[in-house]
Amino acid sequence: MSTHHQHRRGRTAPRPWRARLLAALGACALLLASGTVAPSASAEDGDGDGSGGDKVLTVAVAQSVDSLSPFLAVRLVSTSIHRLTYEYLTNYDAEDNHVIPGLATEWKSSPDKLTWTYTIRSDSRWSDGERATAEDAAWTFNTMMTDPGAATANGSFVGNFAKVTAPSPTQLVIRLKKPQATMTALDVPIVPKHVWEKVDDFSEFNNDKDFPVVGNGPFVLTDYKPDSYVRLKANKDFWRGAPKFDELVFRYYKDQDAAVAALRKGEVSFVAGSPSLTPAQADSLKGEENMRVNDAPGRRFYALATNPGARAKDGTKFGNGDPSLLDRRVRNALFKAVDRRAIVDKVFQGHAVEGAGYIPPRFSSYFFEPSAGQELAYDPQQAAELLDEAGYRTGADGKRLGKDGKPLDYRVLCHATDPNDKAVGKYLQEWWGELGISVTLDCLDNVTDPWLAGEYDLAFDGWSVNPDPDFVLSIHTCDALPATPKDTGATDNFICDKEYDALYARQLAEYDAGKRAGIVKQLESRLYDTGYMNVMAYPNAVEAYRTDQIESITTMPSAAGNIYGQDGYWSWWSAVPADSGDSSGGSSSTGTVIGIAAGVVVLAGLVVLFAVRRRATADDRE
Amino acid sequence: MSSPAGTEAGPAVPSAAGKRPTAVRREGRAGGGYPRYVAGKLAGAVVSLFAVLVTSFFLFRLIPGDPVKFMTGGRQVSAEQLATYRAEFGLDLPMWQQFTDYCAKALTGDLGTSYQFHAPVVDKITEALPNTLLLTGTAFVLYTALGMFLGTRSAWRHGGLGDRLHTGLALTLYSIPSFWLGLLLIVVLSVGVDPIPGLFPTGGMESGREEGLAQVLDVAHHLVLPVVTLVAVEYGQTLLVTRSALLDEMGSDYLVTARAKGLRDDLVRRRHAVPNALLPTVTLVFVNLGRTVAGVILVETVFSWPGLGGLFYQALSVPDLPLVQGLFFVFAAAVILMNTLADLLYPMLDPRVGR
Amino acid sequence: MSAETTGTPVEPGGPGPRALARRRRRASAARFWKEYRRHRAGVFGLAALVLFVLVALTAPLTVGSDVDSVTDAPGQPLESPSGRFPLGTDQFGRNLLGLLVWGSRVSLLVGLLAAALSVLIGALIGITAGHFRGWYATVMMRITDWFLVMPTLVLAIVLATVLSRSLGTVVLAIGVTTWPTTARLVRAQTLAVESRPYIERAKALGGGHWHIMSRHVLPNVMPLVLAQTTLIISSAILAEATLAFLGLGDPTVVSWGGLLQDAREAGSVSSGDWWYLVPPGIGIAVVALAFTLCGRAVEAVLNPRLGVSR
């Protein structure tokens, strides 16, 4: 063996080595060449877009799809795709969010509110040609009621269902155990029974193997590559009318900045932002040609929640919130030392509205502003006085001492993935540092655990508010507390206040919209005074799209609303392709020319290199 | 003495000494023939794989966070429902039982079910693995070829201007953070800085619009920048090791003899010095390949490449324990397999070892 | 390796053994420096390091500790470079040149501490495993081998995730994952030293384990450890930047890696704000390169046959 190898080494080894090197360099050349050829390929398609070929709308998303099964998916990107591919019983109007027909054309409830009858439309067809009927809807709900695997995502909607039947193809009857408020807002995708009844295990079926996926929404799911893209084709037979674009592609970008760069180049038509574009991105895009930045009043509030002493309904206390925060004066003093104006100006750079009441001003009828006397205006001096008054005085080293004699040091729970949390956290450290209070920023990828365990002092908090604010109000009632420390309650941050609960019950029973809005404002006023939820700002929904690719698109609400993450399929269904494919085609063909030129130069360089090497070899042979 | 830089799993510092794995020499000398050597190496690899399996199980139990509470997304869930979920994922069993179940399943190729994707971990990994292999494989071939080629040239003309330039450049690129280089490439070559147009895509593996040949070209187009980044930060090490291996070899008697015989320098280099010097470099090459699979996390993050690195990062933030465990196992297994392969190949290539 | 520090047995008579040893070491240090000076790259690296260390040490005087204050930020968000702000400002309006100088402190500190931890663990395990042999050495080397196959970055990411986000965590994550190389090098050197006859003599004269390890082995592995340290600092600085960039660093502390992460989050890649993106990366690269150059020069001095930087 030894001699054999020595022989090989001495005689033949050099040649294969040389050949391998050449092959590798060849591969390198090929790679570079393909890199420069590819733009021409896509540019051809781009030209095709302009001249009546397939019109493709590409949307950059930052979330990866968790599942394409409507029974499992909970992430926004996945539920948005389900909105586009399956009809729900009802939908929401793009103008003002009121409930409008979806798969059901009309609905009525029995006088005791326990039986709901839906009329199912007869003009909706599955993409494989079968008619969508009440039987499909009944099967979908029944599956969720009987199979725990199918109840993973939307089980909460059917928890109160007694029986679901389909007496005829156009009639769906749901019997309830007790009245339920969400019966016209059942956000459950209805799936085709004839396809889905073959599924064995709903907890592991992800609906991502057989394409196209049979659906009846405005788009049909035709292709999916994990962490890469989701591709949908327009459903030309959609009962509400065909979408204007022929194809819709959701492309995944891990990094928002890469997505913005892609938008700038025209690789994508729309960037959603997660949850919105940064001020720097928005400002730099605003100056661009063919670019529209949609800076819509947001439906979110951005707040600082304090831990009021976590507890369960059975009275058990848990968690380890700082006892000093149980004093309202301390909470108010902390918030008085927070300059909301500076947060809006510096952190959001104007892409937000200064915080006041709990519900964002976008929902004007419920928007609450504290009165002059009530307002916890920015006043560090007063904040220091309040703290002194509450008995938290500064020690020798300028640090405020707690009742146990130790310096106050608050843990602030922040989301490691949210730059705003980290930025505001830095301000808090300095503002509260002036008061003599230390702040430890506890930035985690996943805050769920300490949050649910009540192991924090303060936390960055935020919710998207629905047109009907019932849900975001309900999460601060005593009723939302977990039953025992082992359960997970609906509560946001363990607030339990008798006065608040009384007002909450009153607004729930009030049917007059104006009067109800009045009570809701009182509710917000109470919440403001307690100092448990301190709203710092209402961030705008900042998104951008290319006007040379999208001519128009519906926002929701249509006046000044957002595009991505709507409660409906309006944006993508309504988007109109821009006619002038020329502008983008022009720039990309310039790119192609230069790209090819660069490729030629590189190839020429390689050829020269090889030629020189060859000649050297030839010299040797002589 | 030789540094194990070549067998190192981490960011190895380019060291001239890192060319012969100590392990090979030690056991090679003690061994009784190649088959026995192979058996020893394979047994060692199996033990290492098992150790990794054990580690991956226990290490990730340390991550704070209740996966069940995360899965329910903070929604209102009763204690019974939480218990049901725990039972479904086997989280209610005592630790040792979870561990034996895990091992038993792993032996049958079942690494559990991902919490967040509701799919078998093995499926998620096999989805992403080809993408990572495409990226690392292409980069690997290129930086190895480039490193060896330039390393040979540098050594032969060592001390010259070209040598100093190449060595300096290699060391500089080696000191650059790969993610930063990637970001700069995106700014310059993808977004475009006047007058340079943005020639390459900003991220992802394909645009999702093409089919057939156009799709292949599309993927190749997306591949360029991440590959260039990887090649730039990785080729330096191969260059330096090749160079110093060759410098070592060039002092050898037989080369002096060969030259004294009147053979041309170029011929001496190609026929004798290079093949001999490259043998030890081969081990480094394999070890690098195993290492690159794990080291690609950064480049995948910067370029939104749908590979194992991105998956790992997503899984870690949940924490999606089965997926994290599975990926960690794959990363470590890649290093172990490549190290073993290098160990096995080494005596075949270099007869001085393993006899 | 390290031929010049070979412990020649102490001759009886003449100056005392301590003084002799001291004189010998001083002489070898002088010889070392003379050799080192001949490596131009190494001298350049050393000069760059001295410069950076000076900048970092004098930062409290030159830029002041309130440079990272967001409430007193002097400029507007994301200003481009100007006379007042030579490197522009970040998204809070803070002076980026000041932050760059201030950030060098953390990057250097973490790099040094992590490398120190790594080399400490490595040297300890290496020397003891080389000295004690037997089952202890077997177990230790098994552990070392096991750490060697662990993907370093993956392991460091996991550690940084498991523990809370702080500088200590980063130091620990890097230190704990990078020591095995040193351990193997030191062990091999220890074995070589201990096979020399004078160790036998020392043992016969009643020298205990501690005496042998601290008086004979340690001085002989020190040069090697020194070279290894400089090389590890270089990778530790890169690792710190990497972890900070992945968002695993302490978000309230300014470091070069953290600045890059901030730049990316603020959107400077797509907006082309190069003044935010470029300088921290250059800082990292130059310091890492400087340490590598020094390490290679030291290695070359100790083992001229390697011919690294000739």
Average pLDDT over residues B124-135: 91
Residue with tokens 């009329």: A119
Q: For residue A436, give the DSSP letter.
A: T
What pLDDT is recorded for position A89? 93
Residue B128 has pLDDT above 50, yes or no: yes
Amino acid sitting at position C272: G
How much of chain A, in percent, has pLDDT values that exceed 70?
Answer: 85
The 10 Å Cβ neighbour count of residue A4 is: 9
Report the alpha-carbon distance of residue A345 to residue A352 in Å, rounded.
Answer: 8
Band of pLDDT at residue A59, cut at 50, 70 and 90: very high
pLDDT tens readout for residues A239-258? 999 999 999 999 998 888 88
What pLDDT is recorded for position B204? 85
Q: For residue B137, give the DSSP letter.
A: H
Task: Tell how far CA B61 is from the center of its chain.
Answer: 25
Report the alpha-carbon distance of residue A357 to residue B352 in Å, rounded.
Answer: 80
Residue B6 has pLDDT above 80, yes or no: no
Band of pLDDT at residue B30, cut at 50, 70 and 90: very low
Report the alpha-carbon distance of residue A318 to residue A622 in Å, rounded.
Answer: 89
> Is the Cβ–Cβ distance between A343 and A531 less than 8 Å?
no
Provide the token pair at B75.
């929604």
Whether the CB of A24 is below 8 Å from some CB of chain B: the reply is: yes
> Is the Cβ–Cβ distance between A482 and A489 less than 8 Å?
yes
- Interface touch B209/A56, C-beta < 8 Å: yes
Report the alpha-carbon distance of residue A519 to residue A513 in Å, rounded.
Answer: 10
Whether the CB of A167 is below 8 Å from some CB of chain B: the reply is: no
Band of pLDDT at residue B11, cut at 50, 70 and 90: very low
Band of pLDDT at residue A338, cut at 50, 70 and 90: very high
- Residues 167-226 of chain B with CB under 8 A from chain C are 167-168, 171-172, 174-177, 179-181, 183-184, 186-187, 191, 193
| Residue predicted with more confidence, C282 or B62 | C282
> Is the Cβ–Cβ distance between C102 and C283 less than 8 Å?
no
What pLDDT is recorded for position C13? 54
Whether the CB of A274 is below 8 Å from some CB of chain B: the reply is: no
Whether the CB of A560 is below 8 Å from some CB of chain B: the reply is: no
Task: List the single residue in B with minimal CA-CA distance to C189.
Answer: B1
Residue with tokens 């269904």: A573
CA-based torsion, C303, C305, C308, C310: positive or negative: positive
- Give the gyration radius of chain A's Cα atoms: 30
Average pLDDT over residues A426-443: 91
pLDDT tens readout for residues A63-111? 888 889 999 888 888 999 999 999 999 999 888 788 899 999 999 988 8
Which range is least confidently modeled, A493-507, A589-603, C158-172?
A: A589-603
Band of pLDDT at residue A18, cut at 50, 70 and 90: very low
Q: For residue A578, give the DSSP letter.
A: -
The 10 Å Cβ neighbour count of residue A142 is: 18
- Interface touch C70/A260, C-beta < 8 Å: no
What pLDDT is recorded for position A6? 32
**Is B252 strand, coil or helix?**
coil
Whether the CB of C79 is below 8 Å from some CB of chain A: the reply is: no
What is chain A's mean pLDDT, rounded?
Answer: 82
What is chain B's mean pLDDT, rounded?
Answer: 77
Q: Containing H/E element for C164?
A: none
Whether the CB of A261 is below 8 Å from some CB of chain C: the reply is: yes
Report the alpha-carbon distance of residue C145 to residue C180 in Å, rounded.
Answer: 7
Residue with tokens 């109800």: A516
What pLDDT is recorded for position B159? 79
What are the residues whose beta carbons fall under 8 Å from the beta carbon of B163, sequence distance 6 or more? B153, B154, B155, B157, B243
Task: Give the closest of C77, C264, C269 to A349, CB-based.
Answer: C77
Whether the CB of A25 is below 8 Å from some CB of chain C: the reply is: no
| Residue predicted with more confidence, A136 or A21 | A136
Residue A602 has pLDDT above 70, yes or no: no
Task: Tell how far CA A299 is from the center of its chain.
Answer: 12
Quick one: angle between helices C167-178 and C96-132, nearest 10? Answer: 40
> Is the Cβ–Cβ distance between C213 and C128 less than 8 Å?
yes
pLDDT tens readout for residues C175-227? 988 898 889 888 888 888 888 888 888 888 887 888 888 888 888 888 888 88
Task: Give the closest of B16, B313, B339 to C306, CB-based.
Answer: B16
Task: Tell how far CA C301 is from the center of its chain.
Answer: 19
Q: In chain B, what is the straight-line distance between the N-terminal and C-terminal CA atoms, in Å? A: 20
A541-546 and A291-296 beta bridge pairing: antiparallel
What pLDDT is recorded for position B354? 43
Torsion of CA A476, A478, A479, A484, to 10 degrees: 110
- The pTM is what? 0.83
Band of pLDDT at residue A210, cut at 50, 70 and 90: confident
Q: Which residues of C touch B4 (CB under 8 A)?
A: 148, 181, 184-185
Provide the token pair at A558.
């249509």
pLDDT tens readout for residues A136-154? 999 999 999 988 888 878 8
What pLDDT is recorded for position B280? 67
What pLDDT is recorded for position A43? 36
Residue with tokens 């690392």: B136
Which range is least confidently modeled, A318-322, A584-588, C171-175?
A: A584-588
The 10 Å Cβ neighbour count of residue A70 is: 26
- Interface touch A427/C93, C-beta < 8 Å: no
Q: For residue A489, give the DSSP letter.
A: -
The 10 Å Cβ neighbour count of residue B251 is: 10
How much of chain B, in percent, has pLDDT values that exceed 70?
Answer: 82
What pLDDT is recorded for position C64? 80
Task: Give the closest of A5, A34, A258 to B186, CB-based.
Answer: A258
**Is B150 strand, coil or helix?**
helix
Give one DSSP letter per residue of A89-103, joined into a string.
Answer: SEEE-TTT--EEESS
What pLDDT is recorded for position A201? 87
What pLDDT is recorded for position A46? 38
Compute CA distances C237 → A443, B175, C171, C257, whole Å. 23, 10, 10, 9
Report the alpha-carbon distance of residue A5 to residue C15 in Å, rounded.
Answer: 58
Provide the token pair at B209.
């619009």
How much of chain A, in percent, has pLDDT values that exceed 90?
Answer: 41
Residue A160 has pLDDT above 70, yes or no: yes
- Interface touch A2/B190, C-beta < 8 Å: no
pLDDT tens readout for residues A351-408? 999 998 899 998 888 999 998 888 899 999 999 999 999 999 988 888 999 888 889 9
pLDDT tens readout for residues B82-91? 777 777 777 7
Torsion of CA A15, A18, A20, A24, to 10 degrees: -170
Interface test with B, best of C139, C149, C231, C262 (most B CBs within 10 A): C149
> Is the Cβ–Cβ distance between C171 and C120 less than 8 Å?
no
Average pLDDT over residues A426-455: 88
Report the alpha-carbon distance of residue A552 to residue A574 in Å, rounded.
Answer: 8
Report the alpha-carbon distance of residue B141 to residue B286 in Å, rounded.
Answer: 11
Report the alpha-carbon distance of residue C38 to residue C42 in Å, rounded.
Answer: 8
> Is the Cβ–Cβ distance between B135 and B230 less than 8 Å?
yes
Average pLDDT over residues C106-115: 92
Report the alpha-carbon distance of residue A523 to residue A503 in Å, rounded.
Answer: 6
How much of chain C, in percent, has pLDDT values that exceed 70?
Answer: 93
What pLDDT is recorded for position A131? 92
Distance from CA of A562 to the nearest CA of B (A): 24
Average pLDDT over residues A17-26: 46
Average pLDDT over residues B101-128: 87
- Phi first, then psi, for residue C93 (nearest 5°) are 85, 15
| Residue predicted with more confidence, A536 or A566 | A536
Band of pLDDT at residue C310, cut at 50, 70 and 90: very low
Report the alpha-carbon distance of residue A259 to residue A480 in Å, rounded.
Answer: 39
| Residue predicted with more confidence, B181 or A586 | B181
Neighbours of chain A (3+ CB pairs under 8 A): B, C
